[in-house]
């Protein structure tokens, strides 16, 4: 049962409120501010009714102390009609509401219910915020490679600062994850993080999306729209694929950053805004500048702190960590593992889709595989086909097999695959390989390949 604390120096008032609430709540009573403070700390009530006029201390002072120690606990002030002004002042200090004596019983119940619902909502918001901060903590940017350690160090160094950041990296490398980590480890973490994929918004709508518009600004503008810059006020605006913006839009963004203000489309009022800008691109902006498709003044404005996220193929030592991390994420911690043979295939693959592709593959495996240990046969064939060459190459370079043996294995695999595709018709297989049938037959005899295979 939820706890309510009633604080009033009049015994009759305390008894009346106890009778009203005792059916639905556990009611705690206090006749002085000192007693109320002690019970606030020991009983941890979820709602407090507090009289403004108390004998031992001003109720307003106790309100201030409660707000300092228990900011999520709603306080409803009790006031005589002649002190309504003081009740309003109490709300400015953080009281949830105030009620004048004599009380309306139904009004009391309704306000108490609303106050507790407000508290529950604030608790949920705080819990979710904690989960978000944990999700985007430094610990969740997985990797122990030298390149990733350098990125961790840079993020820690710049998070608390207000500098603009430009993140370079191929698609799927985790640029937005890094941007969120910077935001949620900065002083702006309690304010909005607004992400915009510039490549996904048509050129005709981009200005309206970024800066908003007034009603009637264009044919479909049936109401005012708040843009992303305004939504990110006092927080962080993340512009992904900023290279996709047109030159006129780049000019407007530059002005907004320099002047810290903008005007909505179709509007005349200047709106001040305070945002930290983090941009990302998978293209070489310096090359685009040379071609005239990206403004040099905007480039130098957003490139204060550059960060480059390496592709997954350049940090293969991170693949086992990432693979197990995604396996725990989608299957549950410790419920599945990846065999050494399957991990070799994952490490050998080039991952053109980078970390995003790896997570998608792991999630697919979790959905389609019941085994506790993921083996090579559980992996998509595209990974195994592509990675076989890489495995052979790595075995040669690591000294496990000779170059001649690797050449033989590779040639033998290709001939077998060509025969399978041609239904073991040697002439067609030779055409696939672009060699003569005589050379194909010579190599088949050399490697002991029988066509068709014997049962």
Tokens of 194: 């607004």
**What pLDDT, on the 0 to 100 scale, is given for residue 29?**
94
CA–CA dist 152, 150 (Å, integer): 5
CATH number for the domain that contains residue 321: 1.10.8.60
Which residue is it, tokens 């685009």? Answer: 288
Positions of the chain with pLDDT under 70: 81-85, 87, 125-141, 384-391, 394-395, 398, 453-455
- Residue 80 belongs to what H/E stretch? strand 75-80
415 and 378 belong to one structural domain: yes
**What pLDDT, on the 0 to 100 scale, is given for residue 133?**
47
Tell me, yes or no, whether 41 lies in a domain: yes
Tell me, yes or no, whether 138 lies in a domain: no
> Could you tell me the pTM of the whole model?
0.60
Report CA Rg, the chain: 33
Instruction: List, for residues 178-231, the tens digit of each pLDDT value.
Output: 998 899 888 898 889 999 999 999 888 888 899 988 887 777 777 878 889 999
156 and 80 belong to one structural domain: no
Tell me, yes or no, whether 254 lies in a domain: yes
CATH number for the domain that contains residue 57: 3.40.50.2300
User: Of the candidates 308, 337, 365, which is a domain's last residue?
Assistant: 308
126 and 154 belong to one structural domain: no
Domain count, the chain: 3
CATH number for the domain that contains residue 197: 3.40.50.300
Residues of the domain holding 243: 143-308
**What pLDDT, on the 0 to 100 scale, is given for residue 60?**
87
> How many Cα atoms occupy the beta-carbon half-sphere of 120 within 13 Å?
7
55 and 154 belong to one structural domain: no
Tokens of 25: 């709540």
291 and 159 belong to one structural domain: yes
Tell me, yes or no, whether 452 lies in a domain: no
**What pLDDT, on the 0 to 100 scale, is given for residue 242?**
96
**What pLDDT, on the 0 to 100 scale, is given for residue 135?**
52
362 and 443 belong to one structural domain: yes
147 and 256 belong to one structural domain: yes
165 and 302 belong to one structural domain: yes
**What pLDDT, on the 0 to 100 scale, is given for residue 389?**
65
Neighbours of 27 (CB within 10 A): 20
């Amino acid at each position: 049962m939820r706890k309510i604390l009633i604080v009033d120096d009049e015994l009759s008032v305390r008894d009346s409120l106890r009778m009203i609430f005792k059916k639905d709540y556990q009611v705690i009573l206090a006749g002085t501010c000192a007693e109320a403070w002690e019970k606030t700390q020991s009983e941890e009530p979820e709602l407090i009714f507090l009289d403004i006029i108390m004998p031992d201390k001003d109720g307003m002072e106790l309100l201030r102390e409660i707000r300092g120690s228990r900011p999520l606990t709603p306080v409803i002030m009790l006031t005589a009609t002649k002190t309504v002004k003081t009740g309003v002042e109490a709300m400015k200090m953080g009281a949830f509401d105030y009620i004048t004596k004599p009380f309306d019983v139904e009004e009391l119940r309704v306000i108490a219910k609303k106050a507790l619902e407000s508290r529950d909502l604030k608790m949920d918001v705080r819990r979710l915020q904690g989960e978000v901060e944990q999700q985007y903590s430094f610990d969740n940017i997985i990797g122990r490679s030298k390149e990733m350690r350098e990125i961790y160090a840079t993020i820690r160094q710049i998070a608390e600062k207000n500098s603009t950041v430009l993140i370079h990296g191929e698609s799927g490398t985790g640029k937005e994850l890094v941007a969120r980590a910077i935001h949620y480890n900065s002083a702006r973490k309690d304010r909005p993080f607004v992400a915009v994929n510039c490549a996904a918004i048509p050129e005709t709508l981009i200005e309206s999306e970024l800066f908003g518009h007034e009603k009637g600004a264009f044919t479909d503008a049936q109401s005012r729209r708040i843009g992303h810059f305004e939504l990110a006020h006092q927080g962080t605006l993340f512009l992904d694929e900023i290279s996709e913006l047109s030159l006129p839009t780049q000019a407007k963004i530059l002005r907004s950053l320099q002047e810290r203000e903008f005007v909505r489309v179709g509007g005349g009022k200047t709106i001040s805004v305070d945002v930290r800008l983090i941009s990302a691109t998978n293209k070489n902006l310096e090359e685009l500048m040379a071609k005239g498709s990206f403004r040099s003044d905007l480039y130098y404005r957003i490139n204060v702190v550059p960060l480059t996220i390496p592709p997954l193929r350049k940090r293969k030592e991170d693949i086992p960590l990432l693979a197990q991390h995604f396996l725990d994420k989608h299957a549950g911690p410790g419920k599945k593992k990846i065999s050494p043979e399957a991990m070799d295939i994952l490490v050998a693959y080039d991952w053109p889709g980078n970390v995003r592709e790896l997570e998608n593959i792991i999630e697919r495996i979790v959905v389609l595989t019941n085994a506790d240990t993921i083996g090579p046969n559980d992996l998509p064939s595209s990974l195994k086909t592509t990675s076989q060459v890489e495995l052979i190459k790595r075995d040669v370079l690591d000294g496990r097999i000779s170059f001649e043996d690797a050449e033989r294995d590779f040639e033998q695999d290709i001939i077998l695959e060509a025969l399978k595709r041609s239904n073991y018709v040697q002439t067609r297989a030779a055409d696939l390989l672009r060699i003569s049938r005589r050379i194909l037959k010579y190599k088949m005899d050399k490697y002991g390949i029988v066509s068709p295979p014997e049962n």
